Chain A
């Protein structure tokens, strides 16, 4: 999730188009002012940005190239602007690090900014101010990197606190294991039975390899929807690994759990997937032994799930 740092899908191409229009305007302005030497760059970069906008618009394969293309255009413009004595080089030296921080993921942005430092300062070409400009430039580079760091930190925090799997409405492994030890202790305290139904999707790896992410998501969603239709409100469904799920059934006797397993098998086998036909799911029941600790029970369930996966 953290590496998917592409700018928001619609706004970004729009802004590329606006910038292209601005550049075309600038070229026209130079023509009217008679500064023919400066026309070339904006009139070349304007169509390049339009191409980048089209690339960013491609919905299914949002190109990583578009931000880099935009960045390269920006760099060229700044590189031409910096050595001009009539201009304000001190203003434009601040633009490259910010541009990189906005367009690229954190790592490439920092790297590029640091590597390009001598080039920008050489283009700036002033001996008097060089120490000051170096400090200013480096400060801007580090400050610009802070915000993406904060984003990464918040994302990581969100992921750590979210109990739900990011692909389907089931608990994550950590939350599931936590619930399992909770339910076991509760069952012991209240002297009620506990059952765990293990489910494994044997077609999962094949679907993932051959048909890609969307087919794999459909499969997961079909399974979770099927399970949710049969479970009670306090039965907990969680994903233990890529292709295996556990359904915790508190206060459920073995016979009731077997009945549920049978119903679930029946209804899942009637589900058809476009790619592979009927949905295959292997199921197995696990019950805690009287003297078992939560850890031992979990270990036993994991072994059983593994043997379920191996057929």
Chain B
């Protein structure tokens, strides 16, 4: 599964980069220089160990910020030694990242470039500035391709490969469809909303997905709320199915179950679930229908 997402080679590349920065750190002349390079090594090493997780969830922001800050620090503290690294800004800006971080990196690039004026003389300084700006634009345009691709499928793609975990937009579509369908089939469908604990929602979603029958789906409504659509032949077997799912849940989670034919607005249900989880902080099941 890993080779499918090109993870192994990425990891090797990260490790080689870590070795090279470590090599440079060993020969660094100043203490500060060495510290920055060791930090870079650490960053690359940890990223390599984390790269295997096939999650699409964004890496935590401070972690993504670090390379830009380290590069700026390196160019700031010993420009005469690491002059060549100025061009790395053009590649860094190519990474998929939020808009404000692009701006921040561009700002850092400008500042570090501007500080080189005395070191390299006006002619080279101006030339390198223009070139760097052009290259950064090129890098941005490259990252834009990926961004448009992502935007196109954001609302229809599953959140984890191979697991039936879908985004909230899919739930809205599926709810409409299932409501009509259970009418036609004379079956019983219900929506189960579960409020996960902080940091626990991905693990919980994985566990839930593995218990689902092949025609059931799990949805991630927001950072903490998960939804399931459970289909059963009648209300009696629906109760059994619900109990079976609840038994597998860890204790003390707020859960809300609503029959699809009685479901009003999804937002209201989510709000009530949130209130319930805040008020009781215990395993409360609110079943309707």
A residues sitting closer than 8 Å to B (CB atoms) are: 7-8, 11-12, 15, 18-19, 22, 26, 87-88, 90-95, 97-99, 101-103, 131-133, 135-140, 142-158, 160-164, 178, 181-183, 185-186, 189-192, 233-234, 250-251
Contacts and interface: CB of A to CB of B under 8 A. Distances in A.
Interface string B1-16: 0001111011001101
**A interface SS class:** helix
Contact of A190 (B83, B145, B185): B185
B157 interface: yes
B86 interface: yes
Contacts of A145: 13
A144 B91 contact: yes
A75 B289 CA distance: 72
B124 A182 contact: no
Contacts of A149: 6, 9-10, 13
A88 B177 contact: no
B160 interface: yes
A140 B88 contact: yes
A97 B84 CA distance: 10
B91 A158 contact: no
Interface of B: 4-7, 9-10, 13-14, 16-17, 20-21, 23-24, 27, 51, 54, 56, 80-88, 90-92, 94-96, 116, 119-121, 124, 127-128, 130-131, 134-135, 137-139, 141-146, 149-150, 153, 156-162, 164, 177, 180-181, 184-185, 187, 213-215, 231-233
Contacts of B187: 190
B161 A160 contact: yes
Contacts of A136: 24, 82, 84-85
A147 B92 contact: yes
Nearest to A86: B121
A140 B134 contact: no
A150 B7 CA distance: 9
20 contacts: A11-B137, A12-B138, A88-B119, A91-B116, A94-B86, A95-B84, A97-B87, A98-B88, A102-B135, A137-B84, A138-B20, A139-B21, A146-B13, A147-B91, A151-B143, A154-B150, A156-B4, A157-B5, A182-B215, A191-B233
Contact of A102 (B7, B94, B164): B94
A145 B6 CA distance: 13
Given A149-B9, A189-B231, A251-B185, 14 more contacts: A12-B141, A15-B134, A19-B134, A91-B84, A94-B87, A101-B91, A135-B23, A149-B6, A151-B143, A153-B6, A153-B10, A161-B161, A190-B233, A234-B181
B157 A162 contact: yes
A158 B156 CA distance: 11
A102 B177 CA distance: 46
Nearest to B84: A94
A8 B142 contact: yes
Nearest to B71: A143
Nearest to A233: B177
Contacts of A15: 134, 137-138
A278 to B, nearest CB: 33
Contacts of A148: 94
Contacts of A192: 185
Contacts of A11: 137-138, 141
B216 to A, nearest CB: 8
> Which of B6, B54, B116, B180: most chain A CB closer than 10 A?
B6
The 5 A-B pairs with the shortest beta carbon distances in the complex, nearest first, are A94-B84, A8-B141, A182-B215, A182-B214, A186-B215
Nearest to B162: A160
Nearest to B15: A142
